[in-house]
Structure 1
Amino acid sequence: MTGTSRKNIRQRYEKERRRNLLASPGIHEMIIVLDHLKSGYNIPKIFRSAEAFGAHAVHLVGIEIFDPAPAKGSFRKVPARFHDHFGTCHAALTEQDYHLFVLDPSAATPLHKAKLPPRSAFIFGHEEFGQSFECSAYPGLQSLSIPQFGAVESLNVSVAASIVMYEYVRHQMLSGSNG
């Protein structure tokens, strides 16, 4: 990437981040937590899905500048909360009585069998390195997996986040909680 491209992305990001201050929470209390994801296309694509599925907010942990263009305007519509470390994100969400779920391909509990309360927060780690924290340091975190039947060990993070958001909304609609 050239210096001019980086400068353009930075300018676009700063402009959209200012607009994000006016974003309103979606109709669902679901929160998406992105923990140290690469700043490529996955983050804006997750914002796009978060807007489509009515997410309350997206919390970004250890994530700075990313190109908001692939979000197709969704970055300005879904509130973003920024954290330097997972600990501050965890504290904020637990203070608001959220149930926190970590997505892990090896987790024993499949997403479709989990009880998903209205105040659910779903944590997605770096595609290569996973979460930036030890799950054992945060009691109460529940691990979930998305059932897969092929040889690939995991899904692309933006695809996984979209599946989780869809399942959350489906679960809430069936239970009559939201939507």
Structure 2
Amino acid sequence: MNGRTIQNPTSSREEPVEVVGPTEWTHRDDIGVGPWEGPWPEDERYDPELLEHGDRRNVVDAYRYWRREAIVADVDARRHPFHVAIENFQHDHNIGTVVRTANAFAAKAVHIVGRRRWNRRGAMVTDRYQHLHHHAEVSGLVEFAAEQGLRVVAVDNTPGSQPIETAVLPRDCVLLFGQEGPGLSGDAQRAASMVVSIAQFGTTRSINAGVAAGIVMHAWVRQHADLSTAW
């Protein structure tokens, strides 16, 4: 397995997130596009190596042949003002899914609270285009949120929580998710200024953390996003 670290670009106090998993590239010829045909574009966003050899990355067609840095810069210009955080005190296996979904909805950043190391296989390499931050404890996330003027919205089916189906989510916020099984820690629950839950009608008391994150992020998108900018 390949490993690398991603340094938080905004704060020297936060530590890099260590991720392990597959590389971005695939050797399948039926994925992506081959070498550029015709005169090469002069736009600096294009990568000469990709133009020459083809682009087999997991990106939308609009970003084919672009440098990774150019893609990140373009997304940065239109990211939504919500952040996503997930606790990782027991090596939660849902983090990759959360990162992938946050990327799909252009979240400002993903924050991993607890253990730094996580398996990114479920992220499908979207972590290369998504800002990731690490906080050893919930207190670090709370401090970050206060500095940025973000409300912490906890997602948990605890008594007194507001149904996500009717709740009005703040525009500038951190959506905080607990781990599969134990849910949010006591510190996370106390840090939240708002707690929302997802309506359930079956036999279990909880929803997979990765699925829950997607539901709540989409609820934020329905309330606040400009849908004309979607792909």
TM-score interval w.r.t. the shorter chain?
0.7 to 0.9
- What's the counterpart of residue 207 of structure 2? 155
Partners of 1:49 and 1:111 in 2: CA distance: 18
TM-score by length of 2: 0.63
- Shift of residue 173, structure 1, vs aligned partner: 3.6
Equivalent residue pairs, number: 164
Q: Residues 110 and 68 from structure 1, CA distance in 2 versus in 1: closer, same or farther, beyond 3 angstroms?
A: same
Query: Is the 8 Å Cα contact of residues 103 and 130 (structure 2) preserved in structure 1?
Result: yes
CA displacement 1:74-111 (0-9 Å, x = unmatched): 11111001011000110111211111111111343101
- Shift of residue 20, structure 1, vs aligned partner: 7.8
Query: Is the 8 Å Cα contact of residues 177 and 213 (structure 2) preserved in structure 1?
Result: yes
Mean CA deviation greater in 19-28 or 83-92: 19-28
1:134 maps to which of 187, 201, 214:
187
Q: Residues 171 and 73 from structure 1, CA distance in 2 versus in 1: closer, same or farther, beyond 3 angstroms?
A: same
Partners of 1:137 and 1:49 in 2: CA distance: 26
- Shift of residue 67, structure 1, vs aligned partner: 2.0
RMSD across aligned C-alpha pairs, in angstroms? 2.5
Partners of 1:72 and 1:97 in 2: CA distance: 31
- What's the counterpart of residue 79 of structure 2? 27
- Shift of residue 141, structure 1, vs aligned partner: 1.9
CA displacement 1:137-166 (0-9 Å, x = unmatched): 43x521100111111101000000000111
Would you say 1:98 and 2:88 are equivalent positions? no
Which structure would you say has the larger RCO, counting Cα contacts within 8 Å and 6 or more residues apart?
Answer: 1
Mean CA deviation greater in 143-152 or 122-131: 122-131
Return the structure number with greater helix share. Answer: 1
Q: Residues 86 and 20 from structure 1, CA distance in 2 versus in 1: closer, same or farther, beyond 3 angstroms?
A: closer
Q: Residues 43 and 154 from structure 1, CA distance in 2 versus in 1: closer, same or farther, beyond 3 angstroms?
A: same
> Which of the pair has more CA radius of gyration?
2
- Shift of residue 135, structure 1, vs aligned partner: 5.2
Would you say 1:115 and 2:105 are equivalent positions? no
- What's the counterpart of residue 76 of structure 1? 128
Q: Which amino acid aligns with 1:154?
A: S
Structure 1 unaligned residues grouped into runs of 5+: 1-7
Q: Which amino acid aligns with 1:71?
A: A
TM-score by length of 1: 0.80
Mean CA deviation greater in 49-58 or 127-136: 127-136
